[in-house]
Structure 1
Amino acid sequence: MSDATRGDLGIGLPGETPAATVERVAALAEELGFASFWLNDTPRGDSLAGLRAAADSTRRIRLASGVIPIDRRSAAQIIGDVRDLDLPEGRLVVGIGSGGLARPLAAVAEAADALQSALEAGIVIGALGPRMRRLGATGSDGVLLNWLTAPIAAETADEIHRAAGDAGRDGRAILYLRTAIEPDAREALAQQAALYGSIPSYAKNFAALGISALDAAIGPDDDVSGRLGEYLTSVDEVVLRVITADASERSYLDFVKRAADLARDGG
């Protein structure tokens, strides 16, 4: 991306966030001008069900699922859930990933095709390696990236844009960015970094890139607005995955307010 181009900014919460909190945080994110609201999909948190609550309290902001592993929920099940929940497809983004599948590329490609044929929603593919990134660029609306520094994210976004352009697609590069603003969230961020550093696929990726997980996050000891500004000129969209000390509604709302101010300062 050109240094003069500023990407969109979104807010991301865990999938197990209570519906009432999702409603209030999504509404505030929309009010403060964020482009998107994301929910992780986890075994304990159904992102699509959570987005129903966000849809009830918003009118314009994009609503996105994060990565739904297709070994846990098939394309047919996702399509059925989107329709049963009456989610607003015109502003919905569904992220999918391979999960633990042995032959991931073919399965993800088939799922992406099925979803794009059945839904008006945007479809993005979560990717670590180059082959899955290329699939996301050429076979969906974009690639959902995770745990990258701003310079590496910029290089990766250029790769995605080139592949997408060759395929006649837009190929958005979207980055999940774990972010802790308040000092009391420092430990929670360290725990997230340690968790992902212990996952073999991520550990291998960190080693190959020569970075640690904490290098690819924003913490309270950083120049938050400055680093956020770097990320926003590196990819098409940055999703601030909210990290707070107590994961409470109050702390999430405070984070969104602080992040809006910091984004203006870093712009």
Structure 2
Amino acid sequence: MRDCVPVRGIINYYHQKILVIRVWQNFLAVMELAGWVFIALIHQVRARQGSYYRFLSVFQIPMPEGDVPAPVSVRTPDQLPFVVNRFKLAGHLTYGSIRLQLRRSLNPAAEDGAPMARYGVRFENDPSLTPLDLQELGVLAEELGYETVWAPEGGGRDSLTALAAIALRTERVRLGTGILPIYARTATNTAMGAAGMAAVSGGRFILGLGVGHRPTVEGRDGVPFRQPIARLMETISIVRGLLSGETVSAEGRHFNIASASLGGAAPKERVPIYIAALGPQMLELAGEMADGVLMNWTAESFIREAVEHVKHGAEKAGRDPSEIDIAGYVRVAAGGDEDAVRESLRGQVARYASNTFYRNFFVETGFCEEMAEAANALAAGDLARASEAITQEMQDQLAVVGTPEECRAALERRRAAGLQLPVVAPFAIGDNKESHRQTITAMAPGG
């Protein structure tokens, strides 16, 4: 029989383990404090005329005009953009995050109140991205200055669960469903989910709604795809009433509600509603009823036309078109193997083209010949030949591929055309999480 380990030995063993853990925790605390102090000192240095130029040269900040910097005010400690953010990055202080925060803090434009360009980011609905992965990416997006994080809903997990996970680890970034399909839920269920997310996020939730597509709605959800615009209008009307704290009764084509209310669960903050739209009717409906529009495959050549449809819908409803936010997903692959990216991109566009709705949209954006050839190949079951029909010109209209500088310039061209909120949709090649991380970092709003 083997001897038993003495109880005292066990106690000593675990006591040593606990000491090691405490030492590590203390080290992280010291690193956090050092980060705070370092950035606070930088702000103090900048307040002293002349002496902060050394930091400008180190961090490559553009010099202000003139020989002597104008006096500036020093931010109070609670206004400093601390990079540590209360251990939300598990105590990791990276050179890149510190450098980015310092560039923002020291840039004179930021002191003058000039806002950073608006950017959102979409996380792919892919089982390879676990809820913990999404939390980490959400924290990173917040730290880098993204305005919104969007979660789509296709196969796999629902978007509300993904956003709830991110909400628990973030404080400022807004969180939107991109989109929540209306045929998979009743209007009342949709309002309940939105109220829950508004509470979990502390009022940062954006409710993105869309009708989806016939093959998915009827084939996967088992619901007849009838009168999508009418159903969306009824859904928005009911959901908006419930989220406003009203008791709602409705008699429509799709919903007959005797009496519904969220009671005390109705959110105190207004929940913005965005509509997923590509076609003229949906774009106009967004102008009539929604707070914003969320487009997919945001083709540079189509943006101005889309904005005109939204404007027309707003004017029909007597609304100010400037009140409607124009957002859109833009697939982005910044850096990496461009040949591999383009090969994968051709395949994804071809797969979307198998859906009649998207194929018609691609035709509307000016790619008739490509879609005719792709349609013939798809009818023969030849996806490879359909992919070959997707020209580089079409790829560059529908997505952004190149160096980070080239990608940023392409996004800014879309902004100039009327896309107020470009939403970076990382185009993953290889490891999904790492692709997201690299693209999010490369396209950071303040980078």
Q: Fold match, TM over 0.5?
A: yes
Give, in angstroms, the shift of residue 227 of structure 1: 0.7
Give, in angstroms, the shift of residue 249 of structure 1: 2.1
Give the AA of the match of 2:344.
A
Alignment CA distance shift 1:195-1:7 (3 Å): farther
Tell me, what secondary structure is at the counterpart of 2:235? Answer: helix
Question: Which residue in the other structure is 1:149 paired with?
Answer: 299
Tell me, what secondary structure is at the counterpart of 1:218? Answer: strand
- Structure 2: distance between partners of 1:225 and 1:83: 35
CA RMSD in angstroms comes to 2.4
Question: Which residue in the other structure is 1:15 paired with?
Answer: 125
Tell me, what secondary structure is at the counterpart of 1:202? Answer: helix
Question: Which residue in the other structure is 2:211 paired with?
Answer: 98
Alignment CA distance shift 1:23-1:6 (3 Å): closer
Question: Which residue in the other structure is 2:242 paired with?
Answer: 118
- Is 1:188 aligned to 2:344, yes or no? yes
Question: Which residue in the other structure is 1:176 paired with?
Answer: 329
- Structure 2: distance between partners of 1:236 and 1:198: 30
- Deviation string 1:170-203 (CA, Å, 9 cap, x unpaired) is 1211111111223254333333212212211110
- Structure 2: distance between partners of 1:45 and 1:188: 24
- Structure 2: distance between partners of 1:26 and 1:221: 23
How many residues are treated as equivalent by the alignment?
259
Tell me, what secondary structure is at the counterpart of 2:154? Answer: coil
- Deviation string 1:45-75 (CA, Å, 9 cap, x unpaired) is 2111100011011111110110222111232
Tell me, what secondary structure is at the counterpart of 2:347? Answer: helix
Give the AA of the match of 2:124.
P
Which has the higher mean CA deviation after the structures are superposed, 199-208 or 223-232?
223-232
Larger Rg: 2
Which has the higher mean CA deviation after the structures are superposed, 197-206 or 244-253?
244-253
> TM-score under structure 1 normalisation?
0.87
- Is 1:140 aligned to 2:290, yes or no? yes
Question: Which residue in the other structure is 1:109 paired with?
Answer: 233
Question: Which residue in the other structure is 2:413 paired with?
Answer: 230
> TM-score under structure 2 normalisation?
0.54
Give, in angstroms, the shift of residue 83 of structure 1: 3.8
Which has the higher mean CA deviation after the structures are superposed, 228-237 or 178-187?
178-187
Alignment CA distance shift 1:62-1:124 (3 Å): same
- Structure 1: distance between partners of 2:194 and 2:361: 33
Give, in angstroms, the shift of residue 224 of structure 1: 1.4
- Structure 2: distance between partners of 1:137 and 1:89: 27
Give, in angstroms, the shift of residue 221 of structure 1: 7.4
Give, in angstroms, the shift of residue 7 of structure 1: 6.1
Runs of at least 5 residues in structure 2 that lack an aligned partner in the other structure = 1-114, 215-224, 244-269, 368-389
Runs of at least 5 residues in structure 1 that lack an aligned partner in the other structure = none
2:171 to 59, 74, 98: 59
Tell me, what secondary structure is at the counterpart of 1:251? Answer: helix
Give, in angstroms, the shift of residue 20 of structure 1: 0.6
Which has the higher mean CA deviation after the structures are superposed, 141-150 or 76-85?
76-85
